[in-house]
């Protein structure tokens, strides 16, 4: 099942994408794609609905973030061996954890807003895990039972804020619009294994990132289990699992985004995103 949210920003309604690629409204069955909706029993109930009977949503309707009410937006750094190499950093011995402000979350095709003072605006395509059931001190062999599904996350980054302004990485990761998620939340039974998903990102049509989740240092089960040793994971929490090589900072010379640039992202089975960089008001 591919769950989504559609409509104007702040007024999104729940929906799903049917087998023919048609968006359908779920408002009669759930209030939103959030929290209780992500419980395994509720997901099973929604999957059993005859989609042909659900109201159709016009194809040109805006897509919002595929999850509402995200409590935590957790990121895993340097989780691809080839990305760590391009960054000139060692592969970590255990997951590197940092947080991204939930106020950064936007729809998959909403603009990226270049912040004031930004000089090194960068891109990062990531596989994101969405938690469906509370996880606390979970073993790896049970970790996937707590996953509601997966989506694309764009971990937009301002490298000058992240690296040159002292403190934690969070300040370079959390500006408004720096967290597009979606277009869909895809349940594990629909997506299948996530250990070799092709990931691609282009800027103005030129290929920048092309990789696969097979080069992840820490897999999904290990990440969920590891995080649950330090904090409770709740339904609707989003975990961005790291990026493959090809970020602007790692190029020689480095390349960064500017106003007017168009970024397109795709992960096999999870759809596509498309964002245009705009100036801050």
Q: What is the pLDDT of residues 163-218, one digit of tens each?
A: 999 877 899 999 999 999 999 999 999 999 999 999 999 999 999 999 999 999 99
| Structural domains present in the chain | 67-279 (3.90.850.10)
pLDDT at 81 > cutoff 90: no
All residues at 6 or more sequence positions from 253 whose CB lies less than 8 Å from its CB, including other chains = none
Task: Please say if the pLDDT value at position 91 is more than 90.
Answer: no
Binned at pLDDT 50, 70 and 90, residue 241 comes out as: very high
What's the average model confidence in pLDDT over 7-25? 97
**pLDDT, tens digit (0-9, with 9 covering 90-100), for 21-64:** 999 999 999 999 999 999 999 999 999 999 999 999 999 999 99
CA distance 269 to 281: 35
pLDDT at 215: 92
Instruction: Please determine, for residue 149, whether its predicted confidence score (pLDDT) is greater than 80.
Output: yes
Q: Residue 61 has which token pair?
A: 């309707």
Query: What is the predicted pLDDT for the residue at 140?
Result: 97
Q: Is pLDDT at 114 greater than 80 in this prediction?
A: yes
The total of other beta-carbon atoms located within 10 Å of residue 254's CB is: 12
pTM of the predicted model as reported, rounded to 2 decimal places: 0.96
Asked if residue 86 has pLDDT above 80, the reply is: no
pLDDT of residue 78: 87
The pLDDT of residue 83: 72
Q: What is the mean pLDDT of residues 100-117?
A: 98
The first and second tokens of residue 165, run together, are 């302004």
State the average pLDDT for the chain.
96
* Signed CA dihedral, 209, 240, 5, 57: sign only: positive
β-bridge mates for residue 148, sequence order: none
């Amino acid at each position: 099942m591919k769950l989504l949210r559609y409509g104007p920003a702040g007024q999104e309604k729940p929906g799903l994408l049917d087998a023919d690629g048609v968006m359908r409204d779920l408002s009669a069955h759930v209030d939103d794609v959030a929290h209780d909706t992500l419980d395994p029993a509720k997901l099973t109930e929604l999957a059993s609905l005859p989609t042909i009977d659900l109201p159709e949503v016009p194809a040109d309707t805006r897509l919002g973030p595929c999850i509402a009410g995200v409590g935590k937006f957790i990121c895993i750094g340097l989780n691809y061996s080839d990305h760590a190499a391009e960054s000139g950093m060692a592969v970590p011995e255990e997951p590197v954890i940092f947080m991204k402000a939930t106020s950064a979350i936007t729809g998959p095709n909403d603009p990226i807003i270049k912040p004031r003072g930004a000089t090194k605006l960068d891109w990062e395509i990531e596989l994101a895990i969405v938690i469906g059931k509370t996880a606390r001190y979970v073993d790896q062999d049970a970790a996937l039972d707590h996953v509601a599904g997966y989506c694309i996350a764009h971990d937009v980054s301002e490298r000058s804020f992240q690296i040159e302004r002292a403190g934690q990485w969070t300040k370079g990761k959390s500006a408004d619009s720096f967290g597009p998620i979606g277009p869909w939340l895809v349940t594990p039974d629909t997506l299948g294994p996530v250990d070799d998903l092709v990931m691609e990102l282009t800027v103005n049509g030129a290929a920048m990132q092309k990789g696969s989740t097979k080069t992840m240092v820490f897999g999904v089960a290990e990440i969920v289990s590891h995080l649950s040793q330090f904090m409770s994971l709740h339904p609707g929490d989003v975990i961005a699992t790291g990026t493959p090589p090809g970020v602007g900072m790692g190029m020689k010379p480095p390349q960064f985004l500017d106003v007017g640039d168009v970024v397109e992202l795709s992960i096999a089975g999870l759809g596509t995103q498309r964002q245009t960089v705009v100036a801050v008001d």
